[in-house]
């Protein structure tokens, strides 16, 4: 009996324990059959770690694809976004472009039923092998990083890879300024592998000339972009070997209108202004001297301003020829007046000596007179011979006109004749000083027009 009682108590305790573990009834529902069941949130369930399609950690990507085998071909294409600037002083250019590489790495192949590619940003680039292409003769370059690094990596199921980045590069351009500013410049952007020779990496344009695309809106303020084209060749380094090098070539032609307004027209106007002095009276010394000095200084300022914006090259530029020839014309106009002024001074000195040598008398009876205006001749001087010296009067008896009486005796006629010939030569020089200005009015403009015809026919 005690065992049976214990068994009954055990069953009762077991029933109470089972009843206490049953869910309670929800309020508002009748019956014990309708129990509340909580819906599970599928998004909060923890799943297992997915297996990566690209098994980056399973391979050594410090080695190039097919290491030890033939050279891996890497195709390249470029889309030029903009030509930012061309600097003549630094002899370089700045370009923004999209650089894309194409190659195949079987280590990145992954299974795919839809044959769709996977796209990644720049974080994966640091974990896999990519071509080490750099820009030859570049001064500065950077990859744009706003808002993140402008790098795109696209991997296809068969292992083909597209690697694209947006770059701004400043590279050297060897310019020839012998025809400046009537020149055309050809610049090149060169791409090359830094570490891998042509035995390890074969760099080539993916689609030939079609590998280079340009934006139709590309324009420059000083240049007209005439042509873009691609070339390729091998580059040799004595210490490392042969490398494949790709070239992006473009030809630029300079706009001349800016330099016509800023350089050629002002220089031409200064030369024409210097010719005004030929129409100014030679006795107006301050006017002609100040005009000549002003034009010379202005030409010097124009030459200095042009050379300040140009590199210090050791050869003569086309603009230098024009400016220096213009400067010579301006300087010659100053020398022309110096010659006129000097000859005028010499003539006045000789005239003064003639007055001192032949005294001036007035009121002589039956005398022939003439004005000292440079119009007397030898016959008139000889006709005055024979007047005696006793008829000479003092200078206080002068009347309204000053006359020159040449008293030449028959005995000294031959000796005096030589002195009169010298006086005539001086008078002719005095007349020629007027002719210098007259001839300059024609010679200077004609010579300058002839120079312009030759200049523009040669350099344009």
Judged against a pLDDT cut of 70, whether residue 391 lies above it is answered with: no
Q: Which tokens hold the place of 198?
A: 């042509």
Distance CA 433, CA 400 (A): 30
Which residues, 6 or more positions from 300, have their beta carbon under 8 angstroms from its beta carbon?
327
Distance CA 72, CA 55 (A): 21
Please calculate the CA angle 211-140-229 and round it to the nearest 5 degrees: 25
- 45-96 per-position pLDDT tens digit: 545 555 566 777 767 788 889 888 899 999 999 999 999 999 988 999 999 9
Please calculate the CA angle 227-231-232 and round it to the nearest 5 degrees: 165
For the segment 209-226, the average pLDDT, to the nearest whole number, is: 89
- The CA R_g of the chain, rounded to the nearest whole Å, is 51
Q: What pLDDT was estimated at residue 52?
A: 63
Q: Between 368 and 128, whose confidence is greater?
A: 128
Please say whether the dihedral angle defined by the alpha carbons of residues 191, 197, 200 and 202, taken in this order, is positive or negative: positive
Phi and psi, residue 157, nearest 5°: -60, -30
Please calculate the CA angle 293-298-299 and round it to the nearest 5 degrees: 100
Give the lowest-confidence range in 37-51, 56-70, 363-377: 363-377
């Amino acid at each position: 009996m005690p065992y049976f009682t214990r068994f009954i108590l055990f069953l009762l305790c077991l029933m109470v324990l089972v009843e206490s573990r049953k869910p309670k009834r929800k309020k508002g529902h009748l019956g014990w059959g309708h129990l509340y069941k909580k819906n599970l949130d599928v998004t909060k369930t923890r799943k297992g770690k997915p297996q990566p399609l690209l098994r980056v950690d399973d391979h050594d990507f410090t080695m190039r694809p097919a290491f030890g085998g033939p050279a891996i071909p890497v195709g390249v294409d470029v889309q030029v976004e903009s030509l930012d600037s061309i600097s003549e002083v630094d002899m370089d250019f700045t370009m923004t472009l999209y650089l894309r590489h194409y190659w195949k790495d079987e280590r990145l192949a992954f299974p795919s039923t839809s044959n769709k590619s996977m796209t990644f940003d720049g974080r994966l680039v640091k974990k896999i092998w990519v071509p080490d292409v750099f820009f030859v003769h570049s001064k500065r370059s950077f990859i744009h990083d706003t808002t993140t690094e402008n790098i795109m990596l696209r991997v296809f199921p068969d292992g083909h890879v597209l690697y694209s980045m947006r770059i701004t590069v400043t590279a050297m351009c060897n310019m020839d300024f012998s025809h400046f500013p009537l020149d055309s410049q050809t610049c090149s952007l060169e791409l090359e592998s830094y570490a891998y020779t042509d035995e390890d990496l074969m760099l080539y344009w993916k689609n030939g000339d079609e590998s280079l695309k340009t934006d139709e809106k590309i324009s420059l303020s000083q240049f007209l972009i005439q042509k873009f084209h691609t070339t390729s060749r091998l580059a040799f380094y004595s210490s490392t070997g042969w490398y494949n090098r790709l070239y992006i070539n473009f030809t630029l032609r300079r706009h001349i209108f800016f330099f016509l307004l800023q350089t050629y027209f002002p220089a031409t106007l200064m030369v024409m202004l210097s010719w005004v002095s030929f129409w100014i009276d030679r006795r107006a010394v301050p006017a002609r001297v100040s005009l000549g000095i002003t034009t010379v200084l202005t030409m010097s300022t124009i030459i200095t301003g042009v050379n300040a914006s140009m590199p210090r090259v050791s050869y003569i530029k086309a603009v230098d020829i024009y400016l220096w020839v213009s400067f010579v014309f301006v300087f010659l106009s100053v020398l022309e007046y110096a010659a006129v002024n000097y000859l005028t001074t010499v003539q006045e000195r000789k005239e003064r000596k003639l007055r001192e040598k032949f005294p001036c008398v007035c009121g002589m009876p039956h005398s022939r007179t003439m004005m000292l205006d440079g119009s007397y001749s030898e016959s008139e001087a000889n006709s005055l011979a024979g007047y005696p010296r006793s008829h000479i009067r003092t200078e206080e008896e002068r009347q309204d006109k000053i006359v020159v009486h040449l008293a030449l005796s028959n005995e000294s006629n031959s000796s005096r004749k030589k002195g009169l010939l010298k006086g005539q030569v001086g008078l002719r020089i005095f007349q020629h000083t007027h002719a210098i200005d007259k001839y300059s009015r024609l010679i200077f403009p004609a010579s300058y027009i002839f120079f312009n015809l030759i200049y523009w026919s040669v350099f344009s």
